[in-house]
Amino acid sequence: MARLDENRPFIPVGIAVLTVSDTRTTADDRSGDTLAARIEAAGHRLVARAIVPDDKQTIRDQVESWTKDCDIDVVITTGGTGFTGRDVTPEALEPLFEKRMDGFSEVFHRISYDKIGTSTIQSRATGGVANATFIFVLPGSPGACKDAWDGILAAQLDYRHMPCNFVEIMPRLDEHLKRGKA
């Protein structure tokens, strides 16, 4: 059963938040604000934050540059996961993934289903790893961001979470390349 091992230290990680929207600004980015508040309350470092339009290349360029930044361990995006013509975040980012994280999407949808029922199928939330950086692609609603953080990311980004967590494997994400991110 999941638990916190209080004998292990908390290890803060560097996180970047990207809001994907043609209409949001820093003044009304509630989803980005939700994530930023939770990241900081958990004791992690909010290293970068940006808003970009629903444009595949712009989204990909921003996230790819963050995956090359040694201070950023995790990128969380919010927005652009639906089915409209402008929703292109998964298409922008999945080609970057060296490894997909199918379980993230499955658990996210399970949590979301308990709250919004079948409407959860209108999200294409996804996750993966690129350049030894975890990438999580979330819907653009504050509720979805809360669900993903509270239900998955808070525990998996806590080194004390047992039986396993993402933080303990971060040093080994790129071992097959024989290079270190740091």
Residue 175 pLDDT > 90, yes or no? no
Are the C-beta atoms of 147 and 104 separated by less than 8 Å? no
DSSP letters for 34-71: HHHHHHHHHT-EEEEEEEE-S-HHHHHHHHHHHHT-TT
pTM: 0.95
Residue 148 falls inside a structural domain: yes
What residues make up the domain containing 24? 10-173
Residue 177 pLDDT > 90, yes or no? no
Residue 4 falls inside a structural domain: no
Over the stretch 111-168, which tens digit does the pLDDT of each residue have?
A: 999 999 999 999 999 999 999 999 999 999 999 999 999 999 999 999 999 999 999 9
Residue 134 falls inside a structural domain: yes
Residue 179 pLDDT > 50, yes or no? no
Domain count, the chain: 1
Residue 181 falls inside a structural domain: no
**According to the model, what pLDDT value does residue 178 have?**
55
Q: Find tokens 């994280």 and name the residue.
A: 101
Residue 2 falls inside a structural domain: no
pLDDT band at 65 (very low <50, low <70, confident <90, very high): very high
Residue 120 falls inside a structural domain: yes
**According to the model, what pLDDT value does residue 182 have?**
47
CATH number of domain containing 39: 3.40.980.10
